[in-house]
Structures are given as structure tokens and as C-alpha cells.
């Protein structure tokens, strides 16, 4: 399981998404500094939970490669939607905090995790193609005898 590169990609993506539970999304300056955490805003919390569970499940499905690949692609799509939502909040912040908000570096974690999920899905597909090719060769060799 751990000797495959796609497992490494999935593990890094899972760690990145898991770190969102403990990191802050942005800091609002003004009459005092206040931090906005990902887990405080319900849609961000739901996106984080969904993608974290999808990556965690796909880590465990190393024997069912097709399901693992599909789950990686779905997770990447959800992560891209999550990143779009973060981008909308970046470019169009609420009026009461406009100009007083600074986003943290963790705001780009979803797009990095999406890229890692796509790379993992690609490598899972290549792995499955190699297994199918080897199966075809073994079957052809058996029928010649």
C-alpha cells in the first residue's frame, strides 16, 4: 500500500485537509484582532469534513482501485468548488470587514489537495491499466498451451 506514489499523494492531501480543522481562515483587524476559523463557518466545515472523509476512505480502498480513483476525482471536484467559494469570499468580502481582513496561507490548501487528488487518480488509473495489461498477457499465454 505505502509503496505506491498515489498513496503518498492521498496521504499528503488528507493531511492538508485535516489541518484545516485546526487552522484559521482569516484574521479581521479593527477594534481588536479576531481570527475566523474554518470550523466556525458551517459551509467550510461541511466542505472540510466531506473532503477529509473522501480522502481518508480512498486511502483505505487501495485494493478497489476503480472506486478509489472515482472517489479521488469526486474529492478533487469538491475541493475545487471549496476553493472557488474561498476565492469568492476573498474578492467579495462582507462590507463590515472590507479592507480589514487578511487571509491565511491555508486558504490555498484546497487547491493543492485537489491537484494531489488528481495526480493520485491519474496514477491509480495507470496502475489499473498495468494490472489489466498483465492479466491479458497471462490469459493469452494460458490459451496458447
Q: For residue 30, how many other CB atoms are within 10 A of its CB?
A: 11
pLDDT-based confidence at 2, cuts 50/70/90? low
Q: Where are the domains of the chain?
A: 5-144
The closest alpha carbon to 61, from 116, 10, 131, belongs to 10
The model carries a pTM of: 0.87
- The predicted pLDDT at position 96 comes to 75
The closest alpha carbon to 61, from 102, 21, 119, 120, belongs to 120
What are the tens digits of pLDDT across the range 20-67? Answer: 999 998 888 877 788 888 888 899 999 999 999 999 999 988 888 899
- Mean pLDDT for all residues in the chain: 88
- The predicted pLDDT at position 11 comes to 94
pLDDT-based confidence at 1, cuts 50/70/90? low
Strands 101-103 and 34-37: unpaired
pLDDT-based confidence at 106, cuts 50/70/90? very high
Q: Which helix (H) or strand (E) holds 35?
A: strand 34-37
Mean pLDDT to the nearest integer, 5-23:
94
Mean pLDDT to the nearest integer, 76-97:
88
Domain range 5-144, its CATH number among 1.20.140.10, 1.10.3720.10, 1.20.140.160, 1.20.140.150: 1.20.140.150
pLDDT-based confidence at 16, cuts 50/70/90? very high
The closest alpha carbon to 59, from 15, 23, 20, belongs to 15
Q: Which grid cell sits at 47?
A: 466542505
Does residue 12 contact residue 116 with C-beta atoms inside 8 Å? yes
Amino acid at each position: 500500500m505505502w509503496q505506491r506514489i498515489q498513496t503518498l499523494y492521498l496521504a499528503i492531501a488528507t493531511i492538508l485537509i485535516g489541518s484545516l480543522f485546526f487552522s484559521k481562515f482569516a484574521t479581521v483587524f479593527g477594534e481588536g484582532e479576531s481570527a475566523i476559523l474554518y470550523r466556525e463557518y458551517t459551509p467550510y466545515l461541511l466542505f472540510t469534513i466531506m473532503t477529509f472523509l473522501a480522502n481518508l476512505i480512498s486511502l483505505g480502498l487501495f485494493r478497489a482501485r476503480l472506486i478509489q480513483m472515482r472517489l479521488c476525482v469526486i474529492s478533487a471536484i469538491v475541493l475545487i468548488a471549496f476553493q472557488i467559494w474561498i476565492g469568492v469570499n476573498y474578492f467579495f468580502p462582507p462590507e463590515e470587514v472590507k479592507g480589514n481582513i487578511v487571509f491565511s496561507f491555508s486558504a490555498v490548501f484546497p487547491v493543492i489537495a485537489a491537484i494531489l487528488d488528481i495526480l493520485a487518480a491519474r496514477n491509480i488509473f495507470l496502475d489499473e491499466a498495468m494490472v489489466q495489461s498483465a492479466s491479458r498477457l497471462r490469459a493469452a499465454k494460458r490459451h496458447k498451451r
